[in-house]
Structure 1
Amino acid sequence: MAERKEQVKPLAPAAYRIDYIKNEDEALSMELKKYRHKKYIKCCGCIAALCLIQVVIILVLIFTVFHIKNPKMRINSIRFEGLSNLSNRSANVTLIASVSIKNPNVASFKFSNATTTVYYHGEMVGEARSPAGHVKARRTLRTNVTVDIEIKKMKAIPGLTSDLSDETLEMSAYSRISGRVKITSLIKKDAVVKMNCTMTVNVRNQQIQDQRCRPHVSI
């Protein structure tokens, strides 16, 4: 039986094979470029989203936790010592004020020397300076301020004799504290806390009969 002759498929021309391989390489290269482009876009999108989230978080912190609030000052009590002997030349009169400084911020409030001035009939009769210090975050600092009254200045003011006969003195006290709240190098605020008090003092018992205080904060 005669052997069957197998038909042999002729090979494609060499030029066609080269073009086919080249087209496959170009198609693969285009696919790789598209894949890299999509991956690059996704990566840029993720980075942009993370940056946006960080910006939103920073803004929320700035307007909530890192929002700097004004410190507050309060005069808890004021008392005088030596007023009953005011008519004596050698009398020593002292004003003692209990002052509270409240810091509602997440960072400490550092302040320089505090000044307290006492007035009688609009004339300054005493002044004292308190040392610099700081109030811890979300804490309240209580301190006593002592002011020595200058008797000579008080006696030189007209009306003292009649006030002593009525056993009441109209006086005022002014306190001023300047400081800074600093959370970061970019988030900080300078503040000046002021307190102006007017009072009616009973000479006999050296107690405050009427006291009106007005706080003020300037930035």
Structure 2
Amino acid sequence: MGEDDHQDEKPLTSSSSKIHHFPISVDEALSTELHKQRAGFRKCTLCCGIITAMILIIAVVMLVLGFTIFHVKNPKINMNSVTIMGLDRVNLTSQLLGNLTVVADVSVKNTNVAAFKFEKSNASLVYHDMVVGVADIPKGVAKARKTLRMNVTFDVIVAEITQNKQFGNDMATGTLPMESYTKIHGRVKIMNVIKRKVTVTMNCSISVSVTSWKIVDQDCKRRVSL
């Protein structure tokens, strides 16, 4: 083998022994879609969390308002004073017939944040289980957190008192036991959302002096029904 033959043979280069590594390709569309789904899930979770938090806050606020501002409180009715008129026309000691006018100063206290509207009603004056006088109470409105005062006028039939079999004994003791019954029907409406019907009843026991014709003792009991 000559020199030319050795010259024609070319040595193997090192590049022929290298291993080529090809990168693994990922579908970009699938990757983008997965990214969008994750972002949408995060947004949905965030929105749900915000809505839930708002609902809880509103519920707590409404609960607090329900026990404070929006809580319907029972109106209170009081009898402040009683005046007897027409004594110059009546002489009970001689059992003369006539009429008396009894004027009761009554107040309705409303502690609610809304007005208490009540219907027309009546009150009665009783002597030993016998009605001797009736008064009309006109419909009215006790404004929010205000006290409404009104005069309730009873027309008393004296004959109903003097003809009672207990009249003589009461005259001997110097006092006439009387009772008054007052009932008011109404309702409290707050922002057209909370409505409640309320009936306020007041029963008073009154002792009237037969000499001065003044109230010497008075005891009132109140009851509220819904």
Q: TM-score, normalised by structure 1?
A: 0.85
> Is 2:217 the partner of 1:213?
no
Q: More displaced, 82-91 or 58-67?
A: 82-91
What corresponds to 2:36 in structure 1? 32
Which secondary structure state, in structure 1, belongs to the residue aligned with residue 47 of structure 2? helix
Shift, 1:159, TM fit: 2.5
What corresponds to 1:64 in structure 2? 68
Superposition RMSD in Å: 2.0
Identity of aligned residues (%): 41
Cα distance in structure 2, aligned partners of 1:96 and 1:29: 86
Alignment length, in residue pairs? 202
Cα distance in structure 2, aligned partners of 1:166 and 1:37: 90
Runs (5+) with no aligned partner, structure 2: 1-21
Of the three residues 152, 157, 161, the one matched with 1:145 is: 152
> Is 2:140 the partner of 1:136?
no
> Is 2:185 the partner of 1:178?
yes
Letter in 1 for 2:131: M
What corresponds to 1:8 in structure 2? none
What corresponds to 2:79 in structure 1? 75
What corresponds to 1:9 in structure 2? none
> 8 Å contact 1:81–1:206 — kept in the other structure?
no
Shift, 1:80, TM fit: 1.6
Which secondary structure state, in structure 2, belongs to the residue aligned with residue 54 of structure 1? helix
Shift, 1:115, TM fit: 1.4
Shift, 1:184, TM fit: 3.7
Of the three residues 80, 91, 101, the one matched with 1:85 is: 91
> Is 2:129 the partner of 1:125?
no
> 8 Å contact 1:172–1:198 — kept in the other structure?
yes
Runs (5+) with no aligned partner, structure 1: 1-15
> 8 Å contact 2:98–2:159 — kept in the other structure?
no
Q: Deviations over 1:15-69 (max 9, x none)?
A: x9xx94x701111111111111101110111111111111111111111110111
Larger radius of gyration: 2
Cα distance in structure 1, aligned partners of 2:152 and 2:28: 90
Cα distance in structure 2, aligned partners of 1:166 and 1:91: 22
> Is 2:107 the partner of 1:103?
no
